[in-house]
Every structure is written in structure tokens, then in C-alpha cells.
Amino acid sequence: MKVLKFGGSSVGSAERVDQVINILIERYINKKQRIAVVFSAFQGVTDKLIEVGKLAFKRRVDYKTELEKLIDLHYDAAFKLNPVNKHGQIADLLEPLFDELKEVTHGVYLVKELSPRTLDYIVSFGEVLSCSIISLTMQNRGIDCEFLNAGRVIKTDDNFGNASVDFKLTNASIVKYFGKHKKLQIVTGFVATTIHGEIATLGRGGSDFTASILGAALNAELIEIWTDVDGILTADPRKVKNAFSLPSVTYEEAMELSHFGAKVIYPPTMLPALQKKIKIVIKNTFNPDFAGTYILEKEKSAKLIVKGISSIDEISLIRVQGGGMVGVTGIAARLLGALAKHNINIILITQASSEHSICLAIPPKLGEISKKAIEDEFKLEMFEGKIGEVKVEENLSIIAVVGENMRHTPGISGKVFQSLGKGKINIIAIAQGSSELNISLVINKNDLAKALNTLHKAVMTKQNHSSS
């Protein structure tokens, strides 16, 4: 069994859906492969549904116009995908769904209430609609398939909008359901139900998670995530023109790479698959012959040492220093605590062993708030001169050089620094955890494009790693 997932951009129009159905027929169904297929809502639909809900909540009557547009979009796609003599059947399928959607949004309009629970109910229609239309279209083309609302099998708590899965219940009901239903299942991504039977969702982008949950529960041989790019690349191709697709990465590398650059897969969604050591491959709907990037637990023959170079375009850096910090315990805890209190996320931390200064990278434009938070926390120490003024630097970027095999390979950081030095790019801060999976460098934002290209050339050129 393979579990396939097609995201919103793969089902952006009737033509795209048609293309996906052809991929399914040619590559799987004709070859008698056992698959289950998860779909996202049609492109942009989840956002639109949220907008409709919010407009209704604000008592803006134009929510109805927006809703009508959504309804038309779905009819339009469904009609294009099916012959005219099936249009009645399509209306029979979709009308009750749209009636329900109209009722719930009207309810929001009347009572001016849009709880996360109600919003989940509204957005769940995106996947229910896309999958209803796709499964009907496939049936009309003679494919023996069935629609499955994943809410029947994926059970969560009632943290609406981002519900947590009850894996014990979920795994058991998936196994049971698939044991009884042998036909090809067309499964709604993103949608779940609480243990009390209310509709919930798994958080934005949750369809990958659905695929991973199904794959893990069914012990799938492979989970295929079909997206709109050639898998995971060595760098962002918009910034590095020589970037190329990676044949494979480890789970950890995928996490590091997607944390920064191209978000082809949202790391936490891989967890169920990771725990069961199920392989994931990222494929491209627009280039189905591309072999894909495999995400594996371990790589047997990893030829590439560095797997990618990614970046965060803009960050701010905060420096706290002073003689009073040396050998004193609790300073870092208070420092991080002060920022946590203000919900400021810390991206990178460095402290040299002299303990004389600590450097923190934080999201852009939060420099001044952070400075204030830290100065409040260390008022006394600053008054006594043990800690100096907190320095903030803006307009910086972080570059991360990622690869699990850097751990066993001396000389990589040498290459990294040498190439940047030759390119006259100043490095402002450096961090490398002892996992040695990621070397992170803070540089001036102006240097970013040049630094990425220089580094990519130095450590990432294809000839360095020939075939893999």
C-alpha cells in the first residue's frame, strides 16, 4: 500500500485535476498498485472559506457574494471534468453540501459568533468538496473508488483549528476501516473529528499530516507527497541559480532545510511516518517523471556531505555583555525567560566560553521590544554596571549549511569560512550545535545573495558529489 497526497496547487483547476487523475491511472491504477489518495481543498479555497466566515461574523452581507463565487468555482470544475449527462448527478451531490455551508455561514451572520469550532466546520468543506468532486469524476471514468471523509477515522481532542490526534483511537479505526473497504479511497486531508464527533481540523497545511497518519497506521511501503516543485532543492532556486534537486535527505535534514527555506513539507507532519520508519518521497505533479526527493531515516550511501544551504532573509541580533555575567548562573535562563514572556521567538543563540557576552537572533523589528524586556529584567545588574547596554543590530540574515554527514567530515566549516572570506563577506555570528547537522551564520542582509551563491559553489557543486 502506498499513500499519496496531492496539495492545493496540484488541484488548482479542472485541468490540473484531470492531470492528477491521469497520473493516478497511468502510474498506479493500471499497474494494479494498492493506493489511498489524500487531497487538499482546491487551491485557495481554505483561505476563501475563512474569509467568508469572517465576513459573515462581521455582518457583512457580501459574505454571500464570496460564498457564491466559491460555489461557482466548484460547479465549474466539476462540470468541466464530467460529461454533460452527468451534470445532474453532480448537482445532486453538491447541492446538499452547499445548502449546509449556506446555513452554517448564515448562522454565523445571525448570531455573530465564529468560534474556532465553527470555523473548523466551515473550512472542512474545502476538502469535502474537492474529494467529493474528484471521487465522483473518477467513478465516472470507470475507476472503482470511494470517498472517505477522514473525520470517520482520524480522532482528535477539541483544540479546534489545530487539534491533536488521539493516535490509539485513530490507528485502530484506520486499520479497521481499510480492512473493510478494499476499494481505492479518496480521502479528505486536514479534516478530523473530535472524540465527541465534532468536526475539527489538523491545522493549516494539515493534509500532509493526514497522509502521514494514514501511511503510518497502514504500514504503507511509501508515502508520496505530490507538490508543485522538484522535491527538496539544495537552495532556494530564486536566489541560487545553480540549485539542484536532492535525490534523498534524512528526516533530520528535511527538518533543518524546511525550517528555513522551501517549505515543501511541514516537519511535524512527518512524525508518524518517522516513528514507523516509513519512507516519504516528494514528487512534482507538474513534472511527474522527476524521481522525487526521498526522505529516509538513514541514508545508506550518502554521497553528499552538505545537503543544502538555506536562509532566513531578515533577522535582528541582540547582544548582551558584561563582566558580571562571567561564572554567574541563571543569566541565560533569565535572558531567555524575559523574551519568552513577550512571546519573542529566539532563532539562534551563541555564547562564547568566556561567558562575557550572549548573542541572540530574533525575528526582525522586534529588536527594540526585546531590548526593553531585557533591560527590565536586568535593571539591577545594569545599574551596578555588571551588564552593559543591550545592543541591537537590524537588517541581518542567517544562512544555514545543513547536512548530517558534516558530523563525520572535518574541513567543511573550513571551506565555508574560506569561501566567504574570499568573497569578502563579513560573518557577524556563528552557531553550530554539537549535532553538527547545521552551521548557522549571521551576515548582513545586503550580502545574502552573494553569500548563498558563493557558499553553494564552494560546498554544493554537483561535481563535489557526482552521482548519488
Name the minimum Å distance from CB 225 to ligand ASP: 10
- Our CB check for Mg ion shows the closer of 166 and 228 to be 228
Q: Which one, of 299, 271, 270, lies nearest residue 282 by Cα?
A: 270
Query: Among all chains, which residue has been given the C-alpha cell 467513478?
Result: 139
> How far is residue 178 from each of residues 166, 314, 320, 430, measured CA to CA in Å?
18, 47, 57, 50
Report the sign of the C-alpha dihedral through residues 448, 449, 450, 454, in that order.
Answer: positive
- Our CB check for ligand ASP shows the closer of 126 and 322 to be 126
**206 interacts with, out of ligand ASP, Mg ion, none, CB within 5 to 8 A per kind:** ligand ASP
Name the minimum Å distance from CB 334 to Mg ion: 40
Name the minimum Å distance from CB 187 to ligand ASP: 12
Name the minimum Å distance from CB 150 to ligand ASP: 11
Asked if 454 touches ligand ASP (CB under 6 A), the answer is no
Q: Whole-angstrom Cα distance, residue 73 to residue 76?
A: 5
- Our CB check for ligand ASP shows the closer of 116 and 423 to be 116
* φ, ψ for residue 277, nearest 5 deg: 55, 40
Which long-range contacts (C-beta less than 8 Å, at least 24 apart) are formed by 204-208?
A: 204/46, 205/266, 205/269, 206/269, 207/5, 207/7, 207/38, 207/39, 207/40, 207/127, 208/5, 208/7, 208/265, 208/266, 208/269, 208/270
Please give the radius of gyration of the chain, using alpha carbons only, rounded to the nearest integer: 25
Q: Whole-angstrom Cα distance, residue 203 to residue 375?
A: 36
3-state secondary structure of 406: helix
**139 interacts with, out of Mg ion, ligand ASP, none, CB within 5 to 8 A per kind:** none
Strands of the sheet containing 391-402, edge to edge, are 348-351, 357-362, 308-321, 391-402, 438-444, 427-432
- Our CB check for ligand ASP shows the closer of 178 and 190 to be 190
> How far is residue 20 from each of residues 14, 45, 74, measured CA to CA in Å?
10, 18, 17
Q: Are 14 and 76 in contact (CB under 8 A)?
A: yes
Which of the stretches 85-93, 199-207, 359-367, 396-404 binds ligand ASP when contact is defined by CB under 6 A?
Answer: 199-207
Asked if 46 touches ligand ASP (CB under 6 A), the answer is yes
Asked if 41 touches ligand ASP (CB under 6 A), the answer is yes
Phi-psi region at 322: left, alpha or beta (left = phi > 0; alpha = psi -120 to 50): left
Asked if 245 touches ligand ASP (CB under 6 A), the answer is no
Name the minimum Å distance from CB 230 to ligand ASP: 20
Q: Whole-angstrom Cα distance, residue 155 to residue 431?
A: 40
Residue nearest to Mg ion (CB): 8
Asked if 206 touches ligand ASP (CB under 6 A), the answer is yes
Q: Whole-angstrom Cα distance, residue 160 to residue 300?
A: 41
Asked if 122 touches ligand ASP (CB under 6 A), the answer is no
Which of the stretches 178-186, 198-206, 276-284, 418-426 binds ligand ASP when contact is defined by CB under 6 A?
Answer: 198-206
Name the minimum Å distance from CB 46 to ligand ASP: 4
Name the minimum Å distance from CB 114 to ligand ASP: 17
Name the minimum Å distance from CB 45 to ligand ASP: 7
- Our CB check for ligand ASP shows the closer of 40 and 370 to be 40
- List 4, 6, 7, 234, residue binding ligand ASP (CB under 6 A): 7
- List 57, 121, 190, 226, residue binding ligand ASP (CB under 6 A): 190
Number of H helices, E strands in the chain: 15, 17
Residue 349's Cβ-count burial label (10 Å; 0-12, 13-18, 19+) is: middle
Total number of residues that touch ligand ASP (CB under 6 A)? 12
- List 77, 82, 114, 126, residue binding ligand ASP (CB under 6 A): 126
Asked if 204 touches ligand ASP (CB under 6 A), the answer is yes
- Our CB check for ligand ASP shows the closer of 12 and 288 to be 12
**247 interacts with, out of ligand ASP, Mg ion, none, CB within 5 to 8 A per kind:** none
- Our CB check for Mg ion shows the closer of 43 and 370 to be 43
Asked if 151 touches ligand ASP (CB under 6 A), the answer is no
Asked if 8 touches ligand ASP (CB under 6 A), the answer is yes
Which amino acid, one-letter code, is at 130?
Answer: S
Contacting positions for Mg ion (CB under 5 A) = 8, 40
Asked if 247 touches ligand ASP (CB under 6 A), the answer is no
Q: Which one, of 204, 22, 218, lies nearest residue 126 by Cα?
A: 204
Q: Whole-angstrom Cα distance, residue 301 to residue 49?
A: 46
Which of the stretches 38-46, 98-106, 177-185, 398-406 binds ligand ASP when contact is defined by CB under 6 A?
Answer: 38-46
Q: Whole-angstrom Cα distance, residue 61 to residue 73?
A: 20
Which of the stretches 93-101, 160-168, 202-210, 449-457 binds ligand ASP when contact is defined by CB under 6 A?
Answer: 202-210
Give contact residues for ligand ASP (rule: CB under 6 A): 7-8, 40-41, 46, 126, 189-190, 204-207
